[in-house]
Amino acid sequence: MVSVGVVGLGPMGRAIAYYLVRHTGHVVNGYDVSEEAVNEARRLGINNAVKANATNYDDLKRIASENDVIVSAVPQSIADDVVLGLHGLGKPVIDLIFMWKYNEELARKLSSGPIVVPACGWAPGLTNLLAMAAASELEVVEEVGIHVGGNPVDPKPPLYYELLFSLDSTVDEYVRPATIIRDGKVVSVEPLAEVFGFNTWLVNGDFAEFYTDGLSTLIVTLPKYFGTLRGAYERTIRWRRHLEVVRVLKDLGLLSDFETAKLVLSKSLRPGVNDFSITVVEARGEIGGDYAVVRFEGVDYAQGGFTSMARLTGFTAAVVADLVARGEVRGEGLTPIEEAYMRNKAILNQVLNALRKEGIKIYKTKTAIE
């Protein structure tokens, strides 16, 4: 019997462990430095949850010794060290945050040894898989666009937003430049410098979106497989009124750096539980000489005690961990999920079918215009 460890039992980690317990036959072990998080995990049926500190090497060795596959859901500040430590101890690792921004130095350190699937949550993660799958259906790939966002169902002033994932990651979206591909070149754009309107049949509402730094490993993998690619980006969707407020804060200099932005936003951001998350991933190019678009899209809502963002992030990571445990996803060293897909395209349906077990549905359309 395979043992799967989940390191970090915050909202995302609990969702990972919950899915693994409910839908796989694996032994599931959970670890967190917080007694409160451990107790909350046990209340969800994750009985093998114990206290451990992933930054303590002795604890990390114990975690490695007790598991065949490990999912890291630790905070961004320690993710790199935890992943590198577990890899050095010879364990396959699936991670939510590691290499959120592609890092060549870290990639070299992970060029061999057990598989490491980086940035494998919702966005990046599921969106990487969908982007590569959409592009693969075109004969000529020109542009790939990722449009994602988790938002409160009932936005309230002053920010018209709620804290739906970690504060640090939320703040990061407003201060960290986004790496995108434009005119065939990798470029950096300032967050909130450009804001676009956004509409979808999935949800009624007045939305807008802005560039965020979520392409992750797609910065490398998309050009590797599609030499005609001219553009690729991720944009995060928010209620329009939220972005209007945030842009005013930015213009006033209150989002000038991470620490200042964190101090300002933390005063008004409160934890949210009733949210919805939009996913739209599309590739544009040609099929048979005609302009064509391949699109994956869906919307998910909070349920079962989990926010939609925790469901999409945690359940995706859990599904990939299960596929690694069963040998369906294989690789040596650093293996982005989209790279695994190019080696075994059955992975797409395996992931989407598994997510449907929890009511997460992603729809595909292909349109060609003569």
Q: Give the pLDDT confidence of 34-83 residue by residue, as tens digits.
A: 999 999 999 888 889 999 999 999 999 999 999 999 999 998 889 999 99
Q: Give the pLDDT confidence of 291-337 residue by residue, as tens digits.
A: 999 999 999 999 999 999 999 999 999 999 999 999 999 999 999 99
CATH 1.10.20.10 given to domain 126-305+361-369: no
Domain with CATH 3.30.360.10 in the chain: 126-305+361-369
Contacts of 243 (CB under 8 A, 6+ apart): 192, 195, 208, 210
Assign 343 a pLDDT band (cuts: 50, 70, 90). Answer: very high
Q: How far apart, in whole angstroms, are the C-alpha atoms of residue 85 and residue 67? A: 14
Domain with CATH 3.40.50.720 in the chain: 3-91
Q: Could you tell me the pTM of the whole model?
A: 0.95
Please give the average per-residue pLDDT across 162-186, as a whole number: 90
Positive/negative CA dihedral, 183, 99, 114, 2: negative
Which architecture, in CATH terms, is 3-91? Answer: 3-Layer(aba) Sandwich (3.40)
Assign 269 a pLDDT band (cuts: 50, 70, 90). Answer: confident
Assigned token pair, 334: 């650093």
Q: How far apart, in whole angstroms, are the C-alpha atoms of residue 234 and residue 64? A: 34
E strand or H helix that includes residue 316: helix 308-325
**3 state DSSP class of 141:** strand
Predicted local confidence at residue 100, as pLDDT: 62
Q: How far apart, in whole angstroms, are the C-alpha atoms of residue 344 and residue 338? A: 10
pLDDT for residue 271 is more than 90: no
Q: How far apart, in whole angstroms, are the C-alpha atoms of residue 163 and residue 295? A: 29
